[in-house]
Structure 1
């Protein structure tokens, strides 16, 4: 049985073959989305006429039952249509952070970097926090993954107070979690603090004041999400912006200091945190997801 997995972002698509719930060594390939009019064209280029029996596609965005349209590219996915084009293949479409959640039990030790030391509770659920073009989370427990649209929720009061201390009334411009913590949110925060327009990665490396406020706000958000999701299995940061921000030398100290210290017998003060560094993590999650079908 030939299985294909795909991770579709706004700029690139990664694809690989999978077998027995794991990726086939050496099969991962990258494709530049601008080079293809549709996702089906990328798929055709990858498989080169080979038969496909099962396909799992991870996408950045909310997934409706069997159908999704990307918000930053004119691509749409329909499981039934893709399956028919592949000659009756079984097709599954999932959120990209859900895919990373499915991958957590299978990630090797060199696929994650510790940020905050702690002790993961055996069998405890883990929280995946995606920081990139957008913001979202997923909660993984065993082989199950709970979806969320956390980026569209309102800012917690603790986060708002961090902004208010530095921005005053201008803090009201940040209404949702994504408006602050996604890449565009970081750039908006930098402008609100009086900085010039610049790319997110440049802000991370050159704008210390902005990053101090951003990291303090992120720590406050993680504290709130600890109560929301009880991630006793740990918190995993994923995405390009996450790797840049959470990888800063001071970020781990700020996140550790913000952990809940005095409730639930101290269990929340010992939650470990990692950065997922494996670009193929979503693909690995898709492979595991296919094996569960």
Structure 2
């Protein structure tokens, strides 16, 4: 039996799997509010007590960098150590993975209904695969085929410098530089970045903010869900334009990633945000920005581009990797 987990700052999804051929049907699974627990060990012990299943290995996708078998989750005071967890939990084999590496390991397991195709391209067998995932932050990873299977490699490319493509994005960069000495793609292309885009558009004076929207935004610290809802459900112009700007910037950064790793096997857009406003990815602005790479645009036009719709890709990726331990 294998215990796998998708560990995030807000919630943690744990599941037990019996074989690598049954990753869509875990023996048991449960989601926990992460902040209520002092550590991952405390949460796992509670889970295992409830399910009464003996596991002999575990693999956890963690929202943070992994160094020498140790990890600290972004936005949580948890510090994890593979060796210490093995002793504490009595599980012989434990592996900590970067959460984007876990997501990447799940990509080869996706089925046709799990993805939305933005560009069919011509996928090359064994070609490198890029994963770009805007969630709370902007995660990136890539898969390289070693001759027998794909191996995931993490990246912190979401923290690379934001590069404007047009005059308005130049104005956005100037606006952001007044707030921060360093402006990364994550600052303008993620859950934490959406409010920055909204604030910039509001500063231009070109968009009105309805009173009811102002009231809702004033009541919460996290504006992202309200901005997305304002666009998707209420068609508020400033909210729609915020998401359109986000989509174009994401297209540009996905193209950057495709160039850097030559992802002829495909580019997969993950994270929780894109499926929530999928229709805005189909108007051409995403692919226009993706292909805006000068003479390299023709090469990129042959690269497949997909949006991941399957919500548990990181969990099954962690499980798949765990079975190789």
Instruction: Name structure 2 gaps, 5 residues minimum.
Output: 203-208
Query: Hey, what does 1:253 align to over in structure 2?
Result: 284
Residue pair 2:59, 2:97 contacting (<8 A) in 1 also: yes
Query: Which residue is 1:169 aligned to?
Result: 174
After TM superposition, the structure 1 = structure 2 runs for residues 178-197 of structure 1, keeping only pairs within 5 Å, are: 178-194=186-202, 197=217
Aligned to 1:13: 12
| Contact kept in structure 2, 1:126 and 1:139, CA below 8 Å | yes
Q: Distance in 2 between matches of 1:217 and 1:150?
A: 14
Q: TM-score, normalised to structure 1's length?
A: 0.88
- In 1: Cα distance, 2:282 partner to 2:82 partner: 40
How many matched pairs?
289
Q: 1:153 — aligned with what?
A: 160
- Relative to 1, partners in 2 of residues 1:117 and 1:65: Cα closer, same or farther, differing over 3 Å? same
Distance 2:127 2:88 in 1: 40
Q: CA deviation at 1:114?
A: 2.0
Q: Give the ranges of 4+ consecutive aligned residues of structure 1 lying more than 4 Å apart after TM superposition.
A: 195-198, 261-265
Q: Distance in 1 between matches of 2:167 and 2:259?
A: 18
> Given the alignment of the two structures, is residue 199 of structure 1 paired with residue 199 of structure 2, yes or no?
no
CA–CA distance in structure 2, aligned partners of residues 87 and 25 of structure 1: 21
Go from structure 1 to structure 2 and tell me whether the alpha carbon gap of 1:252 and 1:141 turns closer, same or farther (over 3 Å shift).
farther
The 2-side partners of 1:125 and 1:161 are apart by: 33
Give the Cα separation in 2 of the matches to 1:136 and 1:161. Answer: 26
Cα 1:171–1:251 change in 2 (3 A) is: farther
CA contact (8 A) 1:216 1:254 kept: yes
What 5-or-longer segments of structure 1 have no aligned partner? Answer: none
How far off is 1:180 after superposition?
Answer: 1.2
Task: Confirm or deny: 8 A CA contact 2:247 2:280 kept in the other structure.
Answer: no
Aligned residue among 119, 127, 130 for 2:130:
127
CA distance in 1, matches of 2:246, 2:42: 40
SS in 1 for 2:275: helix
CA gap of 1:167–1:107, structure 2 versus 1, over 3 A, is closer
Give 3-state SS (helix, strand or coil) of 2:279's partner: coil
Post-superposition CA distance 1:126-149 (Å, at most 9, x none):
111110111120001232112110
CA distance in 1, matches of 2:5, 2:198: 34
Q: Secondary structure at the match of 1:28?
A: strand
CA distance in 2, matches of 1:250, 1:4: 35
- 3-state DSSP of counterpart to 1:183: coil
- Superposed displacement of residue 265, structure 1: 9.6
Query: Shift of the alpha carbon at 1:249?
Result: 3.4
Aligned pairs (5 A) from 1:211-226: 211-226=243-258
Q: In the alignment, is residue 283 of structure 1 matched against residue 282 of structure 2? A: no
Go from structure 1 to structure 2 and tell me whether the alpha carbon gap of 1:102 and 1:251 turns closer, same or farther (over 3 Å shift): same
Shift of 1:281: 1.0
> What is aligned with 1:40?
41
Pairing 1:102–2:109 present: no
Distance 1:182 1:223 in 2: 16
C-alpha distance in 2 between matches for 1:125 and 1:136: 17
1:118 maps to which residue? 121
2: CA distance between counterparts of 1:168 and 1:100? 30
- TM-score scaled by length of structure 2: 0.80
